[in-house]
Chains A and B, each alone.
Chain A
Amino acid sequence: AQKITQTQPGMFVQEKEAVTLDCTYDTSDQSYGLFWYKQPSSGEMIFLIYQGSYDEQNATEGRYSLNFQKARKSANLVISASQLGDSAMYFCAMREGLGAGGSYIPTFGRGTSLIVHP
C-alpha cells in the first residue's frame, strides 16, 4: 500500500485565489514528519513547509499553510492568493520516526501539477 497518496494529478486555479492540494498518508508510527516540496519546470525541488506529528498547530510559512488532520491522516497544502509563479509540481512526503533510529528515507507521493491561470 502506498504510504503517501496524492489523488489530484492536476489542479487549476485562478490567480489570486486559494487552492488546496490533497495528501493522505499511512503510518503506524506515532512520531513522523510531513513535508511539502515544489518543483517548477526548471527541475529543482524546493522545500516549502513541515508539520511534525506532535505539533498541535497547523504549520504556516507565508502563503503556504498545512491543514493537518491527524485522525484522518491528511496533510493538505493550502496556497493562498495564488500567483503565476506557483505553477509547478507539488510533492507531499513523510519521514517516519523522528527520534534517533528513525527512518532516513522519506516517502514521496506522485505529485500534483498545479497551473495558475491569469
Chain B
Amino acid sequence: SQTIHQWPATLVQPVGSPLSLECTVEGTSNPNLYWYRQAAGRGLQLLFYSVGIGQISSEVPQNLSASRPQDRQFILSSKKLLLSDSGFYLCAWSAQEGGQPQHFGDGTRLSIL
C-alpha cells in the first residue's frame, strides 16, 4: 500500500532563518506531488506541484521554493523565512490518472518568531 511521510511535525524558526520540509511517498511510482499551506481556520492554498522529477510549477509568488530530486521526494525550502510564512504545511500525492484522490501527509505546523 502507498504511504506518505512528511516531517517535521512541528517547527519553530526565527525570522530570516532557512527552511527545509521534506515529503516522501512509498508504494507508488511517478506520482503527482503537491505542497499546500493552510492558515488557521482557512482553506488550502496550493504552493507548488510537480508531475515529474525536476518539474516544478509554482502557483503563488513567494520566497519559498520546491524541488523534486527523486521521483518520490518533494522538498519545500526557503532561504529566509518571513513572519507571513507561518502556517500549516501539507504535502500530498495523487496518481497521474484522472479521477484519483489526493493523499495527504500529516502536516507540519510552522511558527515563525
Residues of A within 8 A of B (CB): 31, 33, 35, 37, 42-47, 50, 52, 91, 93, 95, 97-100, 102, 104-106, 108-111
Known: A45-B92, A104-B51, A110-B43. A95 touches B107 (CB 8 A): no
Nearest first, the 9 closest Cβ-Cβ pairs linking A and B are A98-B98, A45-B104, A47-B101, A43-B107, A110-B43, A102-B98, A33-B99, A98-B99, A108-B44
Q: Is the CB of B42 within 8 A of A45?
A: no
Q: Is the CB of A95 within 8 A of B43?
A: no
Query: Closest residue of chain B to A97, judged by CB?
Result: B98
Task: Compute how far the CA of A104 lies from the CA of B46 in the bound complex, rounded to whole angstroms.
Answer: 12
B103 in the interface (beta carbon within 8 A): yes
Whether a CB of chain A sits under 8 angstroms from the CB of B7 is no
Q: Which of B49, B99, B106 contacts A95 (CB 8 A)?
A: B99
B70 proximal to A (CB < 8 A): no
Sample (10) of A-B pairs whose CB atoms are under 8 Å apart: A42-B106, A44-B104, A44-B105, A47-B102, A50-B99, A52-B99, A91-B43, A95-B98, A95-B99, A105-B46
Do the beta carbons of A109 and B49 come within 8 Å of each other?
Answer: no
Give the number of A-B contacts (CB < 8 Å): 54
| A93 vs B108: C-alpha distance when bound (angstroms) | 22
- CB pair A33–B98 under 8 Å, yes or no, is yes
Decide yes or no whether B32 CB sits under 8 A from chain A. yes
Chain B residues with Cβ under 8 A from A106's Cβ?
Answer: 102
Interfacial residues, chain B to chain A (CB-CB below 8 A): 32, 42-44, 46, 49, 51, 59, 88, 90, 92, 94, 98-99, 101-107, 109
Min CB distance B50 to A, Å, is 9
Extra 14 A-B pairs, beta carbons < 8 Å, given A37-B104, A45-B104, A105-B46: A33-B99, A43-B88, A43-B90, A91-B43, A91-B44, A93-B102, A97-B98, A100-B98, A104-B49, A104-B51, A104-B94, A105-B49, A110-B42, A111-B43
Contact status A104-B32, CB under 8 Å: yes
Report A60 CB to chain B, min CB distance, Å: 16
